[in-house]
Amino acid sequence: MKTIALVTEKGGTGKSTVAVHLAVCAMRQGKAVAVIDLDPQASTRHWVERRAGDDIAVVSATAQELPRLLEGARKQGADLVVIDTAGRSDVTTAHVIEAADLILIPCRPSIYDLEASQRTAEQITKAGGKQAIFVLNAVPSRGLRAQEAREALTGLLPVAPVELHHLVAYSDALNDGRSVEEMEPLGKAAREIRALYDWLIKL
């Protein structure tokens, strides 16, 4: 069983959106997937409540419950657990960093997100020995913001080669508990989230 955690110090970076889309990617490739929602806003749990079917398990929890839930998922044969977290740095973040096999830091190409991402990277680096990667999210289709963001993050942690663009399909799909792959399987958003998932599983 592998565990991927979405972590960043700032809210509004797209952690929940990336979390559910990666979970659906894994499910569509035949993996047994569970999502643990540690965010008090419970965006991931609300998403699954709108979803038709019960093909992905989503559990709202606290950081203290994380070890028990991960052990339960392992015993039930989960292939992948995705952990969604709140947009702040606290004791929960420390628990998640310790538990995860891979940490993803979604980062929009804006100064506020870049500053928060740098603080998150510092916290992860201090924890030591954890594989962590920035994922540029909500990237404008035009301009140099993605390139500038990559330069700003250079030297902190690796940046995923796949970027997720600012596409309405991501939010539209969430309205009824779907992913972009299920709503527009041939669309640009579906192609890039699949590309990100494929790149991640090779790690």
Distance CA 100, CA 70 (A): 10
What local confidence, expressed as pLDDT, does residue 89 receive? Answer: 60
Average pLDDT of span 78-86:
95
Distance CA 118, CA 107 (A): 10
Summarised one tens digit per residue, pLDDT across range 38-69 is 998 899 999 999 998 889 999 999 888 999 99
User: Does 125 score more than 90 pLDDT?
Assistant: no
User: Does 22 score more than 90 pLDDT?
Assistant: yes
Instruction: Judge contact between 19 and 84, C-beta under 8 A.
Output: yes
Average pLDDT of span 147-174:
93
159-182-33 Cα angle (round to 5): 65
User: Does 88 score more than 70 pLDDT?
Assistant: no
What local confidence, expressed as pLDDT, does residue 139 receive? Answer: 94
So where are the chain's domains?
2-201
Of the candidates 7, 32, 1, 28, the one whose C-alpha atom is nearest the C-alpha of residue 19 is: 7
Rg (CA), the chain: 16
Q: How confident is the model at residue 81 (pLDDT cuts 50, 70, 90)?
A: very high
Tokens of 82: 């995705």
Q: Positive or negative CA dihedral for 73, 40, 48, 13?
A: negative
Q: Which CATH class is domain 2-201?
A: alpha beta
What local confidence, expressed as pLDDT, does residue 17 receive? Answer: 96
Of the candidates 80, 95, 90, 104, the one whose C-alpha atom is nearest the C-alpha of residue 1 is: 80
Helices (H), the chain: 15-28, 43-49, 66-75, 91-99, 111-127, 145-153, 168-174, 180-183, 188-201
